[in-house]
């Protein structure tokens, strides 16, 4: 057990760096926080290091209560785990896969979208350079840990994304309920946040979700959930007809 008593300690500064995208990219480790998530990781028998302020928790790193609280934005009393995450693979185009592209800068939105895409068995969740880091603690928490099992891939910038076979969600597009693509040919969906700057060519094949005129728009995760629910329903019907 290593005892850390100063915020200037080299190891403690390393822990703090894991709260930033820069630190995550450099170290390839992340911090897992929250009672449920840490319990799941501990029970999974995967390798991790434990940080806590209570010696009875048998931590690998024993911090003062103040240092522990400063490290934990969630202010939870459960241990913080240092975990070695797997970097997203480089994306390669495959015609017959079901892929979702995410240029999403808000880590909470990103985590929720990754969880939704994983729940609907999307083949590839593609993170563009505009995306937040998927292993920021906000993303991990919003995904309920799904980021650790999601089929994550990385690709280039949104502006360089070609529009071939690409569908976007936009209120000016064709109604979702009139959209009946063949799922056996694969499908590519581009999501974004408001003000994301999609080009006219990327909006060429856009789909809109019919909603009440009393509501201006859906949040991005609700939009993805609605779209994937519709597509999985179509897939079920198409398979039933074979």
Q: What is the pLDDT of residues 76-107, one digit of tens each?
A: 788 999 999 999 999 988 888 889 999 999 99
pLDDT of residue 21: 95
Give the tokens for residue 138: 């906000």
Torsion of CA 195, 199, 203, 205, to 10 degrees: -150
Report how far residue 110's alpha carbon sits from residue 142's, in angstroms, rounded to the nearest whole number. 8
> Which segments of the chain are extended strands (E)?
2-4, 29-32, 48-52, 61-63, 80-84, 89-90, 98-102, 124-127, 152-154, 166-175, 187-190, 206-208
CB-based contact 142:188 (threshold 8 Å) = no
| Residue 178: how many other CB atoms lie within 10 Å | 9
The model's confidence at residue 239, banded by pLDDT at 50, 70 and 90, is very low
Report how far residue 18's alpha carbon sits from residue 30's, in angstroms, rounded to the nearest whole number. 6
pTM of the entire predicted model? 0.87
pLDDT at 175 over 90: no
The model's confidence at residue 197, banded by pLDDT at 50, 70 and 90, is low
For residue 194, the Cα-to-chain-centroid distance in whole angstroms is 18
Q: What is the pLDDT of residues 115-161, one digit of tens each?
A: 999 999 999 999 999 999 999 999 999 999 999 999 999 998 888 87
CB-based contact 189:102 (threshold 8 Å) = no
Residues 161-183, mean pLDDT to the nearest whole number: 77
Q: What is the pLDDT of residues 14-52, one digit of tens each?
A: 999 999 999 999 999 999 999 899 989 888 878 899 999
Q: Is 220 left (phi over 0), alpha (psi -120 to 50) or beta?
A: alpha
CB-based contact 99:189 (threshold 8 Å) = yes
Go through the domains of the chain in sequence order and give each one's CATH number.
2-84 (3.30.1330.30), 89-240 (3.40.1280.10)
Q: What are the backbone dihedrals phi and psi of residue 17, each rounded to the nearest 5 degrees, phi first?
A: -65, -25
């Amino acid at each position: 057990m290593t005892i850390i008593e100063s915020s200037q300690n080299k190891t403690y500064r390393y822990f703090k760096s894991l709260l930033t995208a820069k630190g995550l990219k450099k170290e390839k480790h992340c911090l897992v926080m929250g009672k449920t998530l840490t319990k799941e990781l501990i029970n999974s028998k995967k390798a991790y290091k434990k940080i806590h302020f209570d010696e009875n928790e048998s931590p690998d790193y024993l911090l003062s209560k103040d240092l522990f609280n400063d490290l934990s934005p969630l202010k939870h009393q459960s241990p913080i785990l240092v975990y070695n995450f797997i970097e997203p693979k480089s994306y390669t185009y495959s015609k017959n896969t079901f892929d979702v592209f995410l240029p999403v800068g808000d880590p909470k939105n990103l985590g929720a979208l990754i969880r939704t895409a994983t729940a609907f068995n999307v083949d590839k969740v593609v993170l563009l350079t505009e995306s937040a880091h998927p292993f920021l603690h906000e993303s991990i928490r919003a995904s309920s840990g799904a980021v650790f099992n999601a089929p994550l891939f990385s690709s280039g910038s949104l502006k360089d994304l070609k529009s071939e076979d690409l569908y976007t969600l936009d209120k000016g597009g064709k109604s979702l309920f009139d959209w009946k693509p063949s799922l056996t040919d694969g499908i590519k969906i581009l999501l974004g946040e408001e003000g994301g700057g999609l080009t006219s060519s990327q909006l060429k094949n856009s789909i809109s979700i019919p909603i009440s005129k009393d509501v201006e728009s859906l949040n991005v995760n609700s939009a993805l959930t609605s779209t994937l629910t519709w597509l999985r329903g179509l897939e079920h019907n198409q398979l039933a007809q074979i």
